[in-house]
Amino acid sequence: MKIRLMKEAGNKGVTLFSRIYLVLFFMGILVAGGSSVTLAQNPPPGAYKPSVPSAEDVAAGKGIYFKKCVWCHGADGAGNGASVKRLLTKPRNFNQGTFKIRHTASGQLPTDEDLFLTVKNGLPGSAMPPWDGILTDQQIKQVVAFVKVELVKDRKFDDPDEEITVIDYGKQTPSSEESIARGKEIFMTKAKCVECHGVEGRGNGNLTQKDDWGFPIFPADLSKPWNLRGNRRDPYNPQNIFREISTGLNGTPMPSFHDELTPEERWDVANFVMSLSHHYPIDKETNKPAISFVIKGKFVKEGDTPNDADDPKWDALEPQYVGMGSQIIQPPRHFLRTVDDIRVRALFNDKELALLFEWSDRTESHRDENRPAIYDATALKSESFPDVEYTTTNLTHEDDEQAGPMKGVRPPEVGTYNDGIAIQFAQAWQNLPSPEKPYFVHGDVKRGVDIWKWESDGTVKEMEGRGLEQVTVRESSNVKVSSAVWKNGRWRVVMKRAIETEDKEKSAQLEKGKNIPVVFFAWDGDAGEHDGKMALSTYYYLMLEPPVPTRVYVVPPIVAGVVLLLEGWAFYTARKRKREREGAVKE
């Protein structure tokens, strides 16, 4: 992509750095030769006129758009494609020319690099996937050309009055305790980021805002940088935060702080934001934390298992990331899960197992028929765009207008429901031949499951499941919750149960050193979640690692000592024999 520099009279021109950058940039294009990539990773800083694509690229991009993009963005680019009713984050409406992820000043059009990188890398945390590997770089360039010329209607990239100013990153401030402390102070006071993003950055501040199209919009959870839309598949890079602080997010309440904060202050805030997350290894394919399907429980050598989440005994374990999806398999299907991961830790002794569940939740929800929910289907709509409002369904068909045998199987959601967390074990899992397991959504008729569930009203249930519609609460429960606290946008729940129980048939018996199959479930009451409308995981395995026997620490030193003695004896004997031979030769 060739970008025309502004050459207006009185313009101070481009900085020396920008000139050097451009020379290297175009040299890179020439060296690349046959490569279709003609876009830099980031556009160089400076003032520009937006580029105008060729008619050939626009025509080619149209064909690609109507094969790949129309299903979400719609035939006219208004963000009203066929799939929109199942998407929480609405597809971009291109008509206004409003784009969030940019390197340009607030309110300005994006550069071609910005649009190219958005299509190539996708927008994490939304339904917009990365098209890298599906479309070639040349095809991405062409579909960007079509969007710019045909779908942006309220403003034009070739308008003489349009200009773009690309931000300058300046000199990056390395992350340090001092920089993080300064960034936290700015976050809490001068920039007032805390008012929207919350004290710990989980997005639990102002939940009443709307975007430019009238849809409810919620502050980003900064503790999950892999979900930030503009992370460009590089979630722990503070440059992403610096860019968004500098440019703002057009179309949203997130403003630009370019004039309010110095570059040094913006880097400090970026370093602070990066400190809010647990830095898991990232899976390059999913751009989310890499998943380990074995959750390792650690043996508590002395004393009882912890009763609350702040007990230092939990520090012996890293919180394990568990990915969660929406329950869309069978009615009542639910496309709107807000809990996309939970963190799990397990400690045990000879008597009981303790599980620590932690998950982000912007609200502390309790059952209240008279309190409107924040994220449910009723709330997530815009009066300006009634045809793209969110809907969920109890039907067996995906078409809400088509009747099905399950229609009306559940009444519409009313008010707010309880938050909740649950773990599911297979009953008599030891007797199941590998890899056979019960159906992961609450078991099946042949293979029952043991479900331990906590809800935010304080109830704790142990249930038997033989299918989603066949879950019964057992009269006597062995499960207890010793602590459940919501604070700063996060639930922390400690759940306990005895290793062995009297009911060997329906209650899962736990064993050390075995892979115990488990499934996790979570409910957000402010998303209308209850019963089968929930977030869920696939199968994981809980491994209660046996304590290391004392002999493991005692025997090796003894063996080592014996070996040293034998080596010393052998060395002494060899030296003695050598001296005897030397003495015999002299005689």
What is the pLDDT confidence band of residue 76, given thresholds at 50, 70 and 90? very high
Which band of pLDDT confidence, cut at 50, 70 and 90, is reported for residue 5?
very low
2 within a domain of the structure (yes/no): no
- Residues 261-277, mean pLDDT to the nearest whole number: 98
Q: Is residue 360 domain-shared with residue 509, that is, in the same domain?
A: yes
**What is residue 342's predicted lDDT score, i.e. its pLDDT?**
98
586 and 522 share one domain: no
Mean pLDDT of 44-63: 94
Structural domain total, the chain? 4
565 and 454 within one domain: no
Indicate whether 139 and 194 sit together in one domain: no
Note the pLDDT of residue 573.
77
Q: Is residue 285 part of a domain?
A: no
Task: Specify whether 439 is located in the same domain as 521.
Answer: yes
> What's the domain range around 186?
177-274
Which of 137-141, 216-220, 388-392, 420-424 bottoms out in mean pLDDT, i.e. has the lowest?
388-392
Say if residue 295 is in the same domain as residue 443. Answer: yes
489 and 463 share one domain? yes
What is this structure's pTM? Answer: 0.85
Kindly state the average pLDDT of the residues 227-243.
Answer: 96
Query: Last residue of a domain, which of 166, 198, 221?
Result: 166
* Residues composing the chain: 587
Compare 393 and 223 and report the one with higher pLDDT.
223
Q: Domain check: are 346 and 447 in the same one?
A: yes
**Is 283 among the domain residues?**
no
Q: Compute and round to an integer the Cα radius of gyration of the chain.
A: 30
Q: Tell me which residue of 227, 454, 488, 187 sits closest to 361, measured CA to CA.
A: 488
- Tell me, what DSSP letter sits at residue 79? S
* Same domain, yes or no: 324 and 209: no
Residues 428 and 524 in one domain: yes
Share the mean pLDDT of the chain: 87
Q: Is the pLDDT of residue 3 over 50?
A: no
Q: 426 in a domain, yes or no?
A: yes
Q: Stretch 87-106: mean pLDDT, rounded?
A: 94
Give me the CATH number covering residue 434: 2.60.40.1190
Q: Helix, strand or coil for residue 496?
A: strand
3 domain residue, yes or no: no
**Burial annotation 495-510 (CB, 10 A radius, 16+ → b, else e):** bbbeeebeeeeebbbb
**Same-domain pairing of 556 and 506:** no
Residue 111: phi and psi, rounded to 5, are -80, 165
Please report, for residues 43, 94, 123, 158, 228, the alpha-carbon distance to residue 289 in angstroms, rounded to integers and kept in the order given. 28, 31, 16, 41, 13
Q: Which of helix, strand or coil describes residue 65?
A: helix
Is 406 a residue whose pLDDT tops 70? no
Categorize the per-residue pLDDT at 441 as very low, low, confident or very high, splitting at 50, 70 and 90.
very high
Report pLDDT for 401.
54
Residues 110 and 50: their CA atoms lie apart, in Å, by 8
pLDDT at res. 329: 86
Q: What's the rounded Cα separation, in Å, for the pair 493 and 487? A: 11
Return the C-alpha torsion angle 406, 410, 416, 419, nearest 10.
-80
**pLDDT category of residue 18 using cuts at 50, 70 and 90:** very low
Name the pLDDT band for 554 (thresholds 50, 70, 90): low
Instruction: Tell me how far apart the alpha carbons of residues 149 and 264 are, in angstroms, rounded to a whole number.
Output: 38
Q: Are 544 and 353 in contact (CB under 8 A)?
A: yes
Residues contacting residue 492 through CB under 8 Å, at least 6 positions apart: 309, 356, 357, 358, 483, 484, 485, 486
* Span 561-586, pLDDT tens digits: 777 777 777 777 777 777 766 666 65
Can you give the CATH number for the domain in which 64 is found? 1.10.760.10
Tell me how far apart the alpha carbons of residues 470 and 448 are, in angstroms, rounded to a whole number: 10
Q: Is the pLDDT of residue 389 over 80?
A: no
| 4 in a structural domain | no
Same structural domain, 249 and 148: no
Task: Please tell me the number of Cα atoms within 13 Å of 39 on its side-chain side.
Answer: 21
DSSP class per residue in 125-144 = TSS----BTTB-HHHHHHHH
Both tokens of 400, joined, read 């809400």
**What pLDDT does residue 510 have?**
96
**Residue 402 pLDDT grade (very low, low, confident, very high; cuts 50, 70, 90):** low
Pairing status of strand 341-348 against strand 352-360:
antiparallel
Residue type at position 542: L
Q: Which of 243, 252, 239, 260 is closest to 187 using CA atoms?
A: 260
